[in-house]
Chains A and B, each alone.
Chain A
Amino acid sequence: MNRTPKKYVLVMETILAIIVAIYILFPFYMVCVNSAKNTTAITNDPVGLAGASFQQLIINITGVINNTHFNFWRAFASSLIITVLSTGLLILFGSMAAWVISRNQSKKWAAFIYFTFIASMIIPFQVVMLPLVATFRDVGKFIGIPMIQSIPGIVFAYLGFGGAMTVFILVGFIKGIPYELEEAASIDGCAPEQIFFQIIFPLLKPVIMTVTILNGMWIWNDFLLPSMMLGLAGKNKTIPVAVQSFIGSYVTEWSMIMAAALLAIIPMIIFFLFGQKQIVQGMIDGAVKG
């Protein structure tokens, strides 16, 4: 392999890496420190630890949690339900559709559906968001289930928007599964739906990880779609929408904003600490295959 680099080069590289790390982690430090200060302490010294206390942190956090615009626990529950439901259904329906598409590749209709899905990935959300809300309002009135400001409605929308990417990644994977496997099962008298659920679906495990992470991170952090579908003043809000509605409503006190930011980033950081390897791998696979 490479020659061992000279020692001073290694030292320089380490120093550089540390400086970059400090720069990147600095905002996180700012959030932690300043959510434990009151407004005067922030004005006097926003950088140091002076004025930060555990009591003040509790005061700020409870203030944010109980704020009617933020309503942290409710927002957290909404975010969790929406993310888990949308991601789970995307995997189920996405892999079902991807399997049908990749097993009928030579047929015109399957190629057409696949092409439409891929082409739709370039559609920016902005071009559909206004008619989407109008359509959902009308559809909701028509079928008697509210589709805007409702969790079923937004999950439905995420299925529509996440479907293309999910199918694209899954089709790429399913193509690699040998068809002989299905033929053998078919000869043994396996019905097509059994072939899918008992043979193909379990084989999708690694790629389902990728799809879960890509969709989960996108849906958890998404702002524009939930802000249009749920509304900044609606009763169900995801965390990013709650943050915007909270800060946009009345708050100019940085201590409260930092406490809100702290609450908003903690779930993601915890998630990252537990699944770091999978998240990093999922994000890379998503970029390289997408």
Chain B
Amino acid sequence: MTTFSVGRRVTSFALLIAGIALLVFALVLDFLGLKFYIDLGNGNLDIRGAILVVGIILAIVGIYLFPTLKYHRTIVYGLFLFPLLATFLVTVIIPLFFGIGYSFTDWDGIRVRNVVGLENYVRMFRQPGFLWSILITFLFVFFNVILVNLIGFLLALLCTTKIKALGFFRASYFLPNLIGGIVLGYIWKFIFTSVLTNMLATKSMLSETPTAIAAIVIVYIWQYGGYIMLIYITGLTGVPADTLEAASIDGANPWQTLTKIKIPMIAPTITICTFLTLTSAFKQFDVNLAMTNGSGSIADFMGAYITNGTEMLALNIYSTAISQNQYALSQAKAVLFFIILAVVSIIQVRTSNKKEVTL
């Protein structure tokens, strides 16, 4: 096997040492509270961060060039995993553990003063507004999952017929899914408050809590139906043509073909779509924020007057922290939200595994 040239050895060690030196230098500056400035004439630029980044890059190149044959593969594997694992650790894992921890304290977004145990959890279940949020979230999810799937499936049937310009219809049904929830929430708010009231001479659906929730369901179906339709189309076109032909020779009418052949054969697709809509409906936030911002009054819910009639869980968590500044309480609610979604996902994995066995 080849041996390493002196040049490569020197480069590797030099880069490693330089990189680590810069890294240590940047961190020492930080610990001492010093700033390292470059005078640009019109203002100073703190280059502590730049030193750190250059240090890391030099160290990585140094490690990559490290003169070893035996461990070269391991080094490459490590370097390949490093960027994604590092970002994942800092953005997901560390905040998750902090988040769960903070829910047992009186964290105010900046510092923790006391550990309060389960107090936040007890408090959130004593808030009628929060219980209302849970209730309407489940109602919303229930209606959404059924309606979005039903409508998506019917649209898929419509888009697998022999009508002309199918491409246009499919594309236009899918179009709303491209637009972010905030923007289309405001568009629909305009339609509900200004257009429909003008056309039908009624008062706005958004002015009463129950109709406002129905309005959010309508918008959600409008946004999501086309996407679910696409997945059902994929399922339906996967049904073998000879099976359908055999059915038609045996004299099955369209209804029998649908219920006895098509629906059983796309059972896996139905599972996928159900859980896709389930989790996304639970997480529904943007449309809720843009359309009603959670407002809506309920005169008497568990003996209290509440003003967050259309506020679903995700929005409730957000406004508890952002508008009411109760970070620890919001964090406790978020942990509950996490548990609900985890349970849903576990059920999903179980059912899809079972389906795969029976198929």
Contact = CB atoms under 8 A, between A and B. Distances in A.
Interface of A: 1-5, 10, 13-14, 16-17, 20-21, 23-28, 30-31, 34, 42-43, 45-47, 89, 93-94, 96-97, 99-101, 104, 113, 116-117, 120, 122-132, 134-135, 139, 142-145, 156-157, 159-161, 163-164, 167, 191-193, 196, 217, 220-224, 239-240, 243-244, 247, 254, 257-258, 261, 264-265, 268-269, 271-272, 276, 279-280, 283-284, 287-288
5 contacts: A30-B191, A43-B194, A130-B99, A192-B73, A221-B180
Contacts, number: 278
A97 B80 contact: yes
Interface in B305-359: 314, 317-318, 321, 327, 330-331, 334-335, 337-338, 341-342, 345
A109 to B, nearest CB: 9
B286 interface: yes
B3 interface: no
Contacts of A30: 187, 190-191, 195
Contacts of A124: 282-283, 314, 334, 337-338, 341
Q: Is the interface of B mostly helix, strand, loop or mixed?
A: helix
Nearest to B169: A17
B230 A167 contact: no
Contacts of A125: 283
Given A46-B198, A221-B180, A280-B230, A126 B109 contact: no
B311 to A, nearest CB: 14
A120 B234 contact: no
Contacts of B226: 24
Contact of A288 (B49, B96, B158, B234): B234
A13 B163 contact: yes
Instruction: State the 9 A-B residue pairs at the shortest beta-carbon distance, nearest first.
Output: A160-B91, A144-B48, A221-B180, A145-B49, A144-B49, A131-B98, A131-B95, A159-B87, A96-B80
Contacts of A34: 190
Contact of A120 (B30, B92, B321): B92
Contact of B341 (A3, A122, A244): A122
Interface residues of B, number: 101
Interface stretch (B7-15, B171-179, B201-209): B171-179
Interface in B244-295: 244-245, 248, 272-273, 276, 282-283, 285-286, 289-290
Contacts of B337: 124, 126-127
Contacts of A23: 222
A159 B181 CA distance: 22
A24 B338 contact: no
B190 A223 contact: no
A246 to B, nearest CB: 10
Contacts of B168: 21
B184 interface: yes
